[in-house]
Structures are given as C-alpha cells and as structure tokens.
Amino acid sequence: MHKLFILFSLISTSAFAQLNMIETKEMRLVTYDFGHKYVLPHAGRCYHNALQFHRKLFDYTPSEKITVLIQDFGDYGNGGATAVPKNAISMGLSPFSYTFETSPAGERVFSMMNHELVHVVALDNSTSTDRFFHKIFLGKVSPTKENPLTAVYSYLTSPRRYSPRWYHEGIASYVETWMSGGVGLAMGSYDEMVFRTRVLQNAHIYTAQGLESEGTTTDFQGKTNSYLYGTRFMGYLSYQHGPDKIIEWVKRRDGSRRSYSAQFKHVFGQSLNNEWKNWISFEKKWQHENVERIKEFPTTATQPITTKKIGSVSYPHYNRARNVVYVAVNYPGQAPHLAALHLADGRLERLADIKGAALFYVSSVTYDAQAEKLYFTTDNDAWRDLNSYDIKTGKVTRLQKDFRTGDLTFNKTDKSIWGIKHLNGFSTIVRIPESTEQQAPAYSQWQQRYTLPYGHDIFDIDISPDGKLLSAAVSDYRGNQSLLLFNTDSLMVNKAVIDTIFNFEVSSPQSFRFTDDGKYLFGSSYYSGVSNIFRVDVATKEIIPMSNAATGLFRPLQISNEKLFAFNFTADGFQPVYIANAPVGEVSSIEYLGTKTIEKFPALKEWEIPIATADQIDMESLIIKEGQYRSGRQIKMNSAYPILTGYKNFIGLGYTFNFGDPLNFREFEISASYTPRNWINRLASESDTTNLVMDDQEQLHLSVSGKIGRYTFSAHYNPASFYDLFGPTKVSRRGATARVDYTRSLLWDMPRKLDLVLGAGAFYGLQKSPYFQQIDTEGFTDSLFLNVDASLIYSNLRGSLGAVDAEKGFRWMFRTLSAHSNGKTYATLIGSYDIGIQLPVNHFSVWFRTAAGNSLSEEFNPFTRFGFAAFGNNYIDYQAARRYRNIFSFPGLSFEADKFIIAQSFAKGMVEFVLPPIRFRQLGGLNLYSNWMQLTAFSSALITRENDFGNNRFVNVGSQLDMKIVIFSLLESTFSIGYANAFDLDDNNKRYSEWMISLKLLK
Amino acid sequence: MDKSKKVFLGVIAVAAIATVGYYLAGGQFNFSSGDAEGSGIGGVKKAGKYKSENATASVDLQGAEVQQLLQNDQFQALMRDRNFRELMKSPEFTELAKNPEFLDLAKNPAFNDLAKNAQFLDMAKSASFQDLAKNPDFAELAKNTKSPAFTELAKSNTFAELMKSPQFMDVAKNPAFDDLAKNPAMMDLAKSGKFTELAKNPDFAELAKSSSFQELAKNPAFTALAKNAQFLDLAKNPAFGELAKNAAFADLAKNAQFMELAKSPAFADLAKNAQFADLMKSPQFMEVAKSPAFADLAKNSQFAELAKNPAFGDLMKNQTFTELMKSSQFTQLEKMASADFQ
C-alpha cells in the first residue's frame, strides 16, 4: 500500500495537466492515456461488481467515493490502495509476473479490483466511535512526522490502518482467490512449496511479529512474505474455524475491537500469538503429509554444484567451452548482479550489477554464445531497459531505454533477440534485429511481430535452434496456461500460426527451452502440485516427467545426455544442482489447503462472482459525469487537529487544517498557534539567551505550506515546531519568511536521479541565521532579505536485499545562494561529494563524504556565514537519524560547548564505516517491537576560515548506534545513541565531547 | 451532444474501424483453453487443485483493437518524435489528418520527396505561394499533364531569369500578348526569329508599343526564350495568361526558391497529382507545411511507413485521439515514456 503514495507523488511530480475521469455515484475512475480507454468500462464494471460483493460480505458502507487511478507505470501488474486521508486505488494495467508461479494467472483488472477493494474495506470500515472522531477531526487523519500527535489522531480515526501488512495482504489475497473461483494465492503452488520446504528443511517459520521484524527484510523473498504468510494464515484460520470467522475478524463495526490483535482475540477466543503457534504446528503436520505423498515414488536426487544459496535467479545460459553458467542473481547482502557460475568448482563470479532487479526473475537474460555477449534487462520493476554485457571486455552498454520488453531469447540463425513487450496491458511478441536498413546501432530498434488479444499473457519464450519455432507459455482469462509453438515465419508477417503442445490448465508451464539439437524442450510445471522438470518431444509433443522433487526444481538446462542443470528450491533461495537426465517413472500429487477448505466449507463457492459483462452491468446508466479530473477542483479538507508547538524556550498550542485532492496531486496545510508567555519549557537549555526572551509580537505563529505540481511553497510568521520542545536543536525563529521552490528532475532513471531546485524566498525580522542556530545576527530585525538559490543534486545510491541503508553509490550536490538586502548582494557556494563502496562482507560498506563552501562576502549577516556543531539530533526528532552526515554537523562539538565554529569558507572530509545490521527475530510484541540495530563509526576533518571569529582546524571521531522501532505495525521510529570527541588542532588538540540520544518519530 | 459523449462515440468509432483493420491485417489468435486438454502427462498424477466449474468467462472491452496500431513499433517511434507531437498539437494538422486526400498523398513517394525538399518547405512559408496555391489557374497549369511545358520550362535558367523580370510579367499580363500567343502562325514566326513578319501582326504591333516590351526586347534572355518551343507552348496555354495576371504569381516568379522548387523533379511529379493540387488549396495544408515540425517529420521514414497503414489514417481521424494528443498530458506521457520526468 505504501507504494501508492510513492506512485501518487510521482504522478504529482510529473504534474499531469489533464486526467480524464468517469464518475458514478460510488466511484471516480481516472486515467491519463488514450491507450487505456479500452479498459475503462470493464474496470468500472469490475469495481461496482466487487463493491457490491464487499458491501454484503463485510457489512461495508464506504465513508466516501473511492477514486481509482488506472495507470501503466510498470511492466508488471501492480496495485495499491489507501483509505487515509481519502479512499483511493491505483491499478497498473500490465500483465502479472508469473515467475515460479508467484502470481496466479487470470483476468487482472477483475482480480486486482477484487483485491484492492478489500484493502479499502479493511481500512475504511468504521464504528460509530470512529465516525465520532471523523467528526472531531473533520476527516481521517494522516500521520505527519512534523506533528507526531497526528499518529494518535490517525489511530482514533482509522484504527485498522495500524495493522501489519501480512494482515491486510492476507485477507485481500484470500478473499480475492474465492471471488475468482479458486484462482489466487490461497490456491498457490508456490505458497505450498514455500511452507513444505521450510518444514522439510526444518527452517524457521516466523512468528507474526518475527515476520514483520525480520521475515520481510532479510529473506530473499522480501515483502512477498507478507502475502505468503498472511494468505496462508488466513487459509489455516478458514480451514480450522470457517471463512466467516476471518471476515468477522476484519469487519469493523460496532462492538468490534479497535486493534486487529484485540479483535482477533474477540473473535477467535484466544490470542493471535497462540493461534499463530497452532498454525505452525498444523502447517508442519500438513506439509509432512504432503511430503509423504511425494515420497510415494522415489524422489529425485540432487547434486549441489555449490553450497551457496543464491536467492532469486534468472534463466541460466550455458557456455559449454568454459563450463560456465551465466545467470542473474539477487540475494540478501550483495547488490543484484550478473554472475558466472563455474560448474567445475561452484565458484560464483560477479560480472556486473543489475540496476532495478526484479525480486524473483532478477533480470531477463539471453545469451549470444558466438559473440560472447549477454543481453539483459534493467529497471525490471518499472519500464525495462535493454543492455548488453561483453563477457570478453566486461563492458556494459545500454542498447534501448524504456523498451518495456522482457522474456528475452536469442535467435542464433539471424542473431536477432526476441522478447515480450508490455504496453497498455497488452503483450506483444517483438523482434530486436541486430541490424536494420537504417543502419541503426545494433539492437537499438524493435519490431512488432504479434500483439496478443487482451487477457492472453505470454511469457517464457524460446526460439528453436533452426529459428523456425518460438515456444511460449500463454495464459487466458480463467488462468489456464498452455505451452504453445508459434511459427516464426508467420510471426515475421504479423500472423500467429500456433500449435498447442499442452494445456497445463492452472499450473504454469515455466521456462521451457529448446535443447541444442532442437529435438526437445525442457521446462518445469507444478502439474502435480510440485514443480518438476518435464521434457517435451517437439516432434511428437509427448511430455515426460524428468524429476520427482521434494521441494521444487526450476529452470532446467541440458548439460549432457547424463545430467541436467536446475535450480532446487530451498528455504534460503535457489540452489544450483545437477539431476539425472533420465525420465522418472511416476509422480504423485500433493494436496492443497485451499481445496480441502472449500470441500469442508462449500459456502466459499458462493464468494465467486462473475467477470461482469456489459449485459450485466450497464456502465452508461451508472455514469453521472464524464470529464477531466482537475485536482484543484477536487481539493477538500482532509482533516483538522490540535497541535503542540515549541517556540524558543516556550510551549504553545494551535490548530492545523489539512487540504488535498483524493489523489494527493495538490495539498496544502494551514497552521496557527499561540505561545503564552508563562508556558515555559523546563526541558530547554538556557545557554542561548535569545531563546529566553519572547516579545509580544512573537506569541502568534502562522504557517502555510503546500505543493502544486513541481512547486512547493511555504510562508511562516514566527515559525514554531513540536520538536523544539525536546533538545538542543531549534528551528523556531523570530520573523517572517516566505519561500517558493521549483523542483525539476533533469534525470530520472532510478536510482540515478539529478534534480534541479530553484528557490526564491524573503526573510524579515530575523534574529538568527535561518539555517544556523548558533549564529546570532543582532541588528537585522528590520532588514528584508530576498534570496534566490539554485541547487543541483545527483544521487545514485544502491543497496542489496535486506539493506537498511544505502550500501554503495555516490551522491553530489552543488548549491549557490544569493541574498539581497539594502541594495547589496551576498553570494555563497556549497558543494559536496559522497561515495560509498560495498565491502565483501554482506551489508558492510565504507563511505567517503566531502564538502566545501565559500561565502563571497566579507560582511557578516544571517546569510554570509556557515556554522558547524553537534550531531544535530533532538531528544525527540523527525529528521534523518544519521544527522552527523550533514555538511554542517560536527559531532563532538555540541551546541552547549564553549567553542563554536563560524566560517566564511570551509572544507570538510569524513570517512564512515557502516557495519552490517543485527536483525531481531523477536524483540518486543505485536504492537511494539524492534527489527534491527546498526552501528556506524566515523571520523571527519574540518578546516574553516573566518576573519572575525578566527580560522579553525578540527578533527573528530565518533560512533552512533541506531535501533529501528515499530509501533502499531506501521509507525516506524528510530532510537539513536551516539558519542563523539572533537579535537581543536589549533588549541593543543583540546578535546570536546558530546553524547547524543534521540528518538526519531515516524518515517 | 456534450464533449464527453463525443469522446465516447469516438472511441467506439475507432474500435469499429480498427476491428476491421485488425482482421484484415491477419490478427487472429486461435489459442483456445481447450486445445490439447485432457490427455494428461503419463505417469504424473495431476494435482487435485480446486477450480470453479464456471470456466467460461468473457470480457467486454471497447476499442481494444486499436492497440494493434498503438503497439506498432513505427507508431511508437512516431509518438516519441517531438515533431509529430508538435504537429499533433496544431489544430491545422489534426484537421488535415482527417482529410483522406492528405493521407492518400502521404503514401505517395513523390510527396515524401517533396516534403523533404528544403525549397518547398521554405516556399511554403511565403504568403505569395500560399495565395498562389489557392489559385485554380496555378493548379491547372501545374497539373497539366498533356502539356508539361511549365515544369519543363521551369528547369531552364533562362526562364528563371526572365521570370524575375518585371517587364516580362507586364508583357505576359498584356491581353495583346495573349492574343498573339494564341495565333499559331505568329508563334511559328517567333520561333523562326522572323521579327519583320511578326511586326506586321496588329497584336504584336500593339504589344510592341508597350515600354515593358521594349525593355524586354533588349533582354537577350527574352530573345532566346522567344525561340523556345516550350515557352511558346506555354504562352499558348490560357492558364498561363491568367496566371501571369495574378499578382501573387508575379511576386513568386521573382523568388529564387520558387524557381528552384519548380525545377525539382519531385515537385514536377507531384504537380501532376490531383490530390496534391487539391491539398494546395487547403488552408490547413499550407499552415502545416509552414511548420518546421512538419519539415522534420516529413523526413521521418516511420511517418512515411505509417502513412501507408490504413489504421493510422483511421486513428488520425479519431477526435478523441487527436484531442488527447493536443493536450499537455501527452507531453507528460512522453516524459513518462522516456522516464526523465523533465
């Protein structure tokens, strides 16, 4: 769900001037592209059909109209939903990724609408108490880190939002499965395999809290574990207690408990933790029984090539001469990369990083053995790029950007690459020729060969050695999946001449590839419920099982007549193994928990709803308005709530009003507060005497801020902050400021990003530097300063699976600021450059951070000097926990020290070691736990120049320990403790010490 | 009918047209979920996986067939072409794009050649040329396939020189010149250079009184041209006489670019094309032709290829599509496509 916010912010950044909207009494359906129009009536019907079902199942009445955005921002289908502050759904049109059958096939708009609406129901359904708080706060409150009390208000207005992801995804996937007649994760073969493997290999099955704290972060399956565990737990509850019980658990109506865990106890009569344990016991028994079924016939022996589990894997490619398999891998601790697996000794050689790796297929990789080049995709979760890797030189070249094509395969006969392009929700077979008539660079163009009708997804293609046949798996609306052969000559004239080898029905034919002689296709399928290897005789279409796996075997390659290469599924990821290249006699099947549940509770069949056709739901009659979605006109008040503020050393009270449109393209906030003179903050330090005094005109505080597309604006009068109540760092200032910023991304190729920020501001009545609290600027309270500034900020930061911070990459920034006052101009320049290197130990990196700045003015005023001091964290804080990385932080030299550094120019360097995090599987309870702790150590050197305050040369050394804490499943906070010593090199290495302790609230 | 209704009907219209195009293009997908079902895999027990018996499902979509074109590589390349996008924003182009003659013409290689012709593109910006293009006489002259004199003559430097001369244009406008030109005997005399015989003709005598003719007669180019058979053919053509009276033609005749253009084989070929002649009269075409984006687009081989695709023509006529293309959101879409978010 959090992705929804990212998505909306991206759309907002790109500032669509026009979005088209269809409105009914219950829905706003928004899109932006002509290419999506074909699906709008269908999406509208799916929405109304699903909503009608959910109203009945969950006794749900929407608190407001739900806004649905149809988009095509990714090459694979995705969805997101929220109900805070407004009900909204985002739905990506692309086909799902069927890798390893981690997603079910079927009609995706139908299944996504069923799924996402469950999220809205679970979040938006309310009791009379919730609705009372809606009235008090004039809506549902979204928590903001600037005002942490909003977390409390948010819990009062939308309590079920504060439930773990596995709970939300579990119920949504479970209900979706039965709404689709059994197509979904509750009947998932991959899901059965995951738990069977964990039981078989005696691997840890996470507790409910351990899943959140460790399972979704260190495991190679990442956040997919929320879906796996959540759906499985719901499946167990349904099987044991009946499906009505889980619905009762999720329903929010009068008499229900606010917290998801309390409601669990209310419905099931025992604690969630206890029942989770019961599930684990049940699961072990269930899976042991399935293993026994598998063992009815001899299981296939696997010969590991390496003991290393390499997480997720792409399709492998074999170089016989070198006895090497090329494969893309993604496992916790190291950035995803192309690798050469040396079959002789099992050594995994890193070749090149893969930007934007997919969680399961990592990258679509194909291989030109003759040219010794690998072709692979990057940005796999967005719009994919095509790249080449030259094995001889190690050079990576990007061939096509955003070509949105994967499932690559190489045609040896004409050296063309073939693939599947996803656009507007359609799959198109494309050919990427090596050369063209226009003499374009190699593989820089693509050709449409055949576009499949909507609802038919095609994947895992291969071209026969003679170039005559293209094999592929193709799915339909109902989730049936067949292995097909296309005639490539026909495809060259945009026609599909198809030969169906076999309809595997709801089990997917995965990774079928031709052997070198073209006689056979080897691939895998969960046909028996377990992923086994199959061999297809291309001439006769005879299919023969080649394995009887206990866990699951995938992506086979024929190495010789005696052995096959394959990936064996383990609890820690895929392991490269050999198996015998010989047919097996018989293979038995396993049982599915879902099947047993529907046999036990046939009422689940009544959950099935049809894909509504135009005859069943007449969209024309439902539409009340068609036109454009104008975010400005859609702006309404989201919520209003009281705030607590700190101003200097005083405490104040006020109110904030928050406005926005449903898709959050535009939002603004107005705050007003008042600080009584006698409300003294006893926690505040009295070392800064300016903070002890508050004039009459300083008692009122006003603030307006907002964003419209690329523009952000703010205006403050005597700005105050909640966090000024706690600790040495103060952002409250006397005076009035107004500022407008324009941000434009000159480069957006995530994680590579180059932003240009242009800003203009006005300051009046300043008592201090607006940026450096240690710089008092008496004599400027009657001066008006007009500022303009420009910044260029580039970042390319990466991390591996399970990373808690960036582990490699670099970042630079250049900023110039010009202040104007009384006819004079004061200019300053600042630049920084950081580079991080990943060390061989997993999650261990070293960073070098440098910065320099210069004020071009000798004259002293609020904008001509820089200040350096302290860690910078308050006791209670909301900004970055590792503030010691800021250019103007200097740990060791606290704000309380008798020495302060004010500079006209400076140069600074820092070396920082970021140690691997320590993960906690079980530290805390369901509603308050810690999931990791990480230690960093740093040392920096600073040289400054200032005529009046003197030049300085300082070094420091310090360390910080950060611990992530999660409250109510969603509210992440960071507890930090740090210590540093600073040494004044110009004063006999005089030592200054500083302790820092801080709790950073919210993300 | 409100705008949104029109948009909806537009989508339906595209769907209907594209459906036909889709099947004509051979886009049939014969895969059926029932194909090869039921035989099983020898030795393997199929999993007892529940699946609803309600296995038939259909999805009603509106206008999905147009995706055959939207997914086309050339179309996608065109969508990313800045010039195409610029043109799509122009109301003149979107109006023109609905014109079947334009789409027919766009398939003509001569048109593509001409569209790449720098002189034509410069000329298109000239007000005189635009006025002239609307003149039926010019069109008549230009497309006169029986008498290719104009285009042939236009290739002659002598003619080009003469056309720039104001005296020549004065003479050409003179009704006496018209009459003279219509007299075959006089023309033969002119060819032979027997001016003494010619002088006996009252029309010529009338013409000779004109100061312009007197000036012109001193011009060696004229005397050379007067012997030129093609010129004399042209002079006989009533359209030429009419055209010569046209102020715009007079202006244009002085224009070196026009003369260069007239020499161009592409122009000569296209001039014979009735559709081109019609288009030249269209104010939208002249507006579009003036645009630098058109000049760049015309050089784009993908545009020429796409113009041959019937579905492209249909899409261009679709109001919903063209409205969307004009809107600023299309620019944003392009940015999304390049993922630069600029």
**Residue carrying structure tokens 């990791």:** A932
**Best B44, B325, B335 residue to mutate vs chain A (most A CBs within 10 Å):** B44
Distance from CA of B23 to the nearest CA of A (A): 10
Write out residues 123-182 of B within 8 Å (CB-CB) of A: none
- For residues A315 and A360, the answer to whether their CB atoms sit within 8 Å is no
- Whether B29 and A605 lie within 8 Å, measured CB to CB: no
Residue A587: phi and psi, rounded to 5, are -135, 125
Residues 201-240 on B with a CB inside 8 Å of A are none
Average pLDDT of chain A is: 92
Instruction: Please list every residue in chain A whose beta carbon sits closer than 8 Å to the beta carbon of residue B51.
Output: 181-183, 187, 479, 505-506
Cβ-Cβ contacts under 8 Å, A421 against chain B:
71
Given a contact cutoff of 8 angstroms between Cβ atoms, the answer to whether B222 and B270 are in contact is no
Tell if the CB–CB gap between B320 and A37 is shorter than 8 Å: yes
pLDDT at residue A593 tops 70: yes
Q: What is the mean pLDDT of residues B118-139?
A: 59
Q: Which of B31, B34, B72 sits opposite A474 (nearest CB)?
A: B31
Integer angstrom CA distances of residue A724 from A147, A644, A691, A716, B237:
12, 10, 11, 16, 93
Output the pLDDT for position A692.
Answer: 85
Largest CA distance in chain A: 93
Alpha-carbon span A569 to A552, nearest angstrom: 5
Residue A553: its pLDDT value, please? 98
Q: What is the mean pLDDT of chain B?
A: 61
- Average pLDDT rounded to a whole number, residues B116-138: 59
Look at B63 and A501 and tell me if their CB atoms are within 8 Å: no
pLDDT tens digits, residue range B176-215? 565 655 566 555 655 555 555 656 666 666 666 666 666 6
Q: Is B61 on the interface with A (CB under 8 A)?
A: yes
Give contacts of B85 with chain A, Cβ < 8 Å: none
Chain B residues with CB under 8 Å of A445 CB are 73
pLDDT at A764 over 60: yes
Residue of B71, B76, B329 with shortest CB distance to A17? B329
A789 versus A218: the higher-pLDDT residue is A789
What is the pLDDT at residue A705? Answer: 96
Both tokens of A511, joined, read: 């990774």
What is the structure's pLDDT at B270? 59
Report which of residues A923 and A237 the model is more confident about: A237
- Among B26, B45, B73, select the one facing A448 at the smallest CB separation: B73
How would residue A568 be classed by pLDDT, with cut points 50, 70 and 90? very high
Please state the rounded mean pLDDT for residues A222-231. Answer: 91
**Would the CB atoms of A451 and B339 count as touching at under 8 Å?**
no
Taking the CA of residue A42 and the nearest CA in chain B, the distance in Å comes to 6
* B49·A438 Cβ contact <8 A: no
- Which has the higher per-residue pLDDT, A965 or B85? A965
- Show Cβ contacts of residue A173 under 8 Å, excluding neighbours closer than 6 positions: A115, A184, A185, A186, A227, A230, A231, A234
What pLDDT shows up at residue B14? 46
Tell me what the mean pLDDT of segment A147-170 comes to.
94
Q: Which of A28, A37, A401 to mutate to test the interface with B (most CBs of B within 10 A)?
A: A37
Report the C-alpha gap between A76 and A78 in whole angstroms: 6
Contacts of B36 in chain A (CB under 8 A): 482, 500-503, 541
**d(C-alpha A240, C-alpha A242), whole Å:** 6
pLDDT in tens, B142-157: 554 444 555 555 555 5
Q: Per-residue confidence at B34, pLDDT binned at 50, 70, 90?
A: low
B1 — contact with chain A (CB < 8 Å)?
no
Q: Give the closest of B15, B25, B328 to A17, CB-based.
A: B328
| CA distance to partner chain A, nearest, from residue B300 (Å) | 11
Q: Inter-chain contact B42–A14, Cβ cutoff 8 Å?
A: no
pLDDT (0 to 100) of residue A46: 96
The pLDDT assigned to A900 comes to: 85
Q: Quick one: pLDDT band at residue A988, thresholds 50, 70, 90? A: very high
pTM of this structure: 0.81
Lowest mean pLDDT among A449-453, A725-729, A984-988, B208-212: B208-212
Q: Residue A522 corresponds to which tokens in the numbers above?
A: 């080897």
CB contact under 8 A, B35 and A587: no
Q: Which residues numbered 490-509 in A keep a CB inside 8 Å of some CB on B?
A: 493-496, 498, 500-503, 505-507
Residues 70-99 of chain A whose Cβ lies under 8 A from any Cβ of chain B: 73
**Helix crossing, A272-294 with A189-200: angle to 10°?**
90
Helix (H) or strand (E) segment spanning residue A846? strand A845-855
Interface residue A742 vs chain B (CB under 8 A)? no
Q: Does the beta carbon of B72 lie under 8 angstroms from any beta carbon of chain A?
A: yes
Contacts of range A349-355, beta carbons closer than 8 Å, 24 or more positions apart: A351/A326, A351/A389, A351/A391, A351/A394, A352/A389, A352/A394, A352/A396, A353/A798, A354/A328, A354/A330, A354/A378, A354/A380, A355/A379, A355/A751, A355/A752, A355/A798
Most A CBs within 10 Å, among B53, B85, B341, to test the A interface: B341
In which band, very low, low, confident or very high, does the pLDDT at A755 lie, cut at 50, 70 and 90? very high
Residues 766-805, chain A: which have Cβ within 8 Å of B?
none
Q: Give the distance from residue B120's alpha carbon to the nearest chain A alpha carbon, in angstroms.
A: 25
Instruction: Give per-residue pLDDT as tens, A252-296.
Output: 999 999 999 999 999 999 999 999 999 999 999 999 999 999 999
| A142 Cβ contact partners less than 8 Å away, ≥ 6 residues apart | A84, A85, A150, A154, A638, A639, A658
Q: What percent of chain A has pLDDT over 70?
A: 98
The reply to whether residue B58 touches residue A613, judged by beta carbons under 8 angstroms, is: yes
Main-chain phi, psi angles of A157, to 5 degrees? -90, -30
The mean-pLDDT minimum among A339-353, A603-617, B191-205 falls in B191-205
Quick check: B332 contacting A, CB < 8 Å?
A: yes
In degrees, rounded to 5, the angle at the alpha carbon of residue A304 between the alpha carbons of residues A303 and A307 is 155
Higher pLDDT, B320 or A531: A531
This complex has an ipTM of 0.83
Task: Note the pLDDT of residue A2.
Answer: 42
CB contacts of A589 in chain B (<8 Å) are 44-48
SS3 A190: helix
Q: Across the interface, do A455 and B59 touch by the CB < 8 Å criterion? A: yes
Confidence (pLDDT) at B287: 63
Asked whether the predicted pLDDT for residue B17 surpasses 60, the reply is no
Residue in chain B closest to A597 (alpha carbons) equals: B50
| CB-CB under 8 Å, A401 with B339 | yes
- What pLDDT score was predicted for residue A649? 92
CB-CB: which of A448, A454, A591 is closest to B48? A591
Contact B332 A14 (CB under 8 A): yes
Hey, are the CB atoms on B58 and A382 less than 8 Å from each other? no
B210 to A974, B186, B245, B318: CA distances (angstroms): 100, 18, 16, 58
Chain B residues in contact with A493 by the CB 8 A cut-off are 26
Over residues A840-847, the mean pLDDT reads 92
DSSP A954-983: EEEEEEEEEEEEEETTTEEEEEEEEEEEEE
* Stretch 183-212 of chain A: residues touching chain B, C-beta under 8 Å: 183, 187, 189
CB contact under 8 A, B70 and A500: no
* Lowest model confidence (mean pLDDT) among A413-417, A420-424, A801-805: A801-805
Q: Residue A757 pLDDT more than 90?
A: yes
Ranking A194-208, A681-695, A892-906 by mean pLDDT, the lowest is: A681-695
User: For residue A685, what pLDDT band results from cuts at 50, 70 and 90?
Assistant: confident
Q: Where are the alpha helices (DSSP H) in A59-126?
A: 108-124
On the question of pLDDT at B27 being above 80, the answer is no
In angstroms, what CA-CA distances link A618 with A623, B70, B133?
9, 27, 52
Which chain B residues are within 8 Å of A187, Cβ to Cβ? Answer: 49-51
Q: CA of B311, closest CA in chain A: separation in Å?
A: 15
Of A383-397, A665-679, A837-851, B67-81, which gets the smallest average pLDDT?
B67-81
Q: Is A528–B337 a contact, with Cβ atoms under 8 angstroms apart?
A: no
Q: How far is CA A420 from the centre of its chain?
A: 25
